[in-house]
Amino acid sequence: MKVKGPEEKKAFLLRRLREHIQRFQESSNLHLGFGQSQGLVTVPRQGWLEQPLDPFNASDRRTFLQRYWVNDRHRVGQDAPVFLHIGGEGSLGPGSVMAGHPAALAPAWGALVISLEHRFYGLSVPAGGLDMAQLRYLSSRHALADVASARQALTRLLNVSASSPWICFGGSYAGSLATWTRLKVPGIPRFPHLVFAAVASSAPLSAVLDFHAYNECLAAASAAFAEVERLLRAGPAAQAVLKEELGACGSLDRTEDQGEMLGVLQALVGGTVQYNGQAGTPLSVHQLCGLLLGDSSNRSHSTPYLGLRRAVQIVLRSMGQRCLSFSRAETVAQLRTTEPQVSGVGDRQWLYQTCTEFGFYVTCEGPPCPFSQLPALPSQLDLCEQVFGLSAASVAQAVAQTNSYYGGQTPGATQVLYVNGDTDPWHVLSVTQDLGPSEPALLIPGASHCFDMAPVRPSDSPSLRLGRQRIFQQLQVWLKATKKNQD
């Protein structure tokens, strides 16, 4: 089956929104990294590492090529620090080492900046594709082994001194990976000696089956979703109107498609909250709430449902999409495709990781939730069954095992700085208070998901600027300590 293009693939709006924001930020800020310096153009280098497919089986000689990027424009000497940006559930481009954080921190320490693409995402997909026999080698544990192997290989390839401290950076799932590089876990006992410290941004350390922390403009959002459900129940004529007004690509006569549509609408609102205020975000929370609440001077001509319709139109236009697909059958067909995507997010791969490690299914089952309860947890778990043949019980067991293995929100990793924004719904699964002297936490008021990692803008809030300053200061403390020990 041929992989569908971006015009047709819209089932995972939240992940599409994330990709859209990342591309916008990279394209608008990358020219800063490619700027001329003393008449020379600085260009990041792309490289490839031959990595073991199964690092936990020495008798298995199979390998794959893993992509990395290097920015050495700020590097000062062989013993300079190395800032390693760990990739997550998507492809990595040159912007991963040239724009944003940690590239913005590199000049202060003359650091070498490297990024490592996660196995099975982007162009780092092993030969053989994405069938189940291959996906057994996709997990956070395999990714951590890749970091350890890459750290040793790149030390040789890039002539890095043995005394150079390596600091891992990561955001969201990759933020969890950055944390876990500092753990002494079975199978990877040497990790804390390979990685000096880590900055974990918006890291959901606690795996959870159902996640329902998206709650903004509660009354208005609830009214808008209630109207959508009313129209869905009103019969074919009302459903046809709803299809037209909300920009659906197909019909809404099937219950599973109605649930899919409500899930996409929930992702639209949730994504606005998650990425609030970041460059490239179609709507801010303030703008979305304004649409849902209506013009205060003329509310008689506006309703929350009308505001939701306008929000859909804005997001579609911003992301260059003509309509939204609400077809459950199309979603399943896309996820069963074993042919890798060349770029962007890896929906099949990430679903596999949620089914076998993390859960993280955004649901709406609690009474305070403003959305529809139709995209319920059983529907989410059914994807694991339909696509991979994994039962709901096995998914629940996998989530419990992940928390047991890594320690959830008390991992016990030292020299890790946990950074979160208090408007990011995912911060409730991370660490927001100091766990100890070497496990500090930073909660930035008004900041959204991974906002500290975004490129610096003049419009950044004072709290975000202060948060970035505190990140700098913590790194300064740690790096001064290692420098003192070297001297």
Q: Catalytic amino acids?
A: 172, 424, 449
The set of residues, in sequence order, having a beta carbon less than 8 Å from that of 26 and lying 6+ positions away, is 93, 94, 95, 99, 100
12/129 Cα distance (integer angstroms)? 21
Report how far Cα 420 is from the mean position of its chain's Cα atoms.
13
422: closest CA among 430, 410, 413?
Answer: 430
According to DSSP, residue 479 is labeled: H
The pair phi, psi for residue 374, each rounded to 5°, is: -65, -45
254/47 Cα distance (integer angstroms)? 48
Q: Is 114 exposed, middle or buried (0-12, 13-18, 19+ CB in 10 A)?
A: buried
Over its C-alpha atoms, the chain yields an Rg (Å, rounded) of 23
- Count how many Cα atoms sit within 13 Å of the Cα of residue 111 in the half-sphere of its side chain: 26
90: closest CA among 14, 198, 165, 194?
Answer: 14
35/209 Cα distance (integer angstroms)? 45
Could you tell me where the beta strands, DSSP code E, fall in 141-260?
Answer: 166-171, 197-201, 208-211
